Amino acid sequence: MSVSSCAHPSLDPPSGSVPPEVVARWVDYTDPLVRPMLVELDHEYGARYGHTLGDLDEETRRERERFAPPDGGLVLLLDDSGRPVSGGAFRRWDAVTAELKRIWTDLGYRRLGLARRVLVELEREIAARGYRRIHLTTGPLQPEAQNLYLAAGYTPLFDRALPPERVGKHPFEKTLPATTGRAS
């Protein structure tokens, strides 16, 4: 598992907030540090869509292998106290495509550029594993996620002129530059 640190002094966060110094840590889906991410995502999905991830213990057991190396991975950004403040995961979609899942930032740390940092970490690892494309979907009630993906160079695979609720799930893709790694 790799670890790297990053400060974001150039960001202009809301309300005079200062972006935290964070460390990226690649962890297993069953690591206890992942639980806050799953709890908050579960709550947010329930509030926005009326459905949740379900039993989180079962979710963890069911999804562990799909997010495990060599085909997948999960990165968390930890603040200086070791608390997870943002994260995301990927898994195999097909032989050349990884699928992004569980992109999350703690409610108290949003609008500080952390989700973008998660994407950078995920994209770097996905490319190193030899994938050539990234696929993801986000929901119609998550315009901030849609804006993140558009700003990060993802191509929408839906008609952006349609009302979000008519589109349903909003798929995106991104082609990665060729690398010397191989997806297994």
Write out the chain in H/E/C secondary structure: CCEEEECCCCCCCHHHCCCCCEEEEEECCCCHHHHHHHHHHHHHHHHHHCCCCCCHHHHHHHHCHHHCCCCCEEEEEECCCCCEEEEEEEEEEECCEEEEEEEEECHHHCCCCHHHHHHHHHHHHHHHCCCCEEEEEECCCCHHHHHHHHHCCCEECCCCCCCHHHHCCEEEEEECCCCCCCCC
Domain 3-9+18-175 in CATH 3.10.350.10: no
Q: How confident is the model at residue 20 (pLDDT cuts 50, 70, 90)?
A: confident
Q: Mean pLDDT score of the chain, rounded to an integer?
A: 88
Of the candidate ranges 69-73, 124-128, 163-167, the one whose mean pLDDT is the lowest = 163-167
Q: What pTM did the predictor assign? A: 0.86
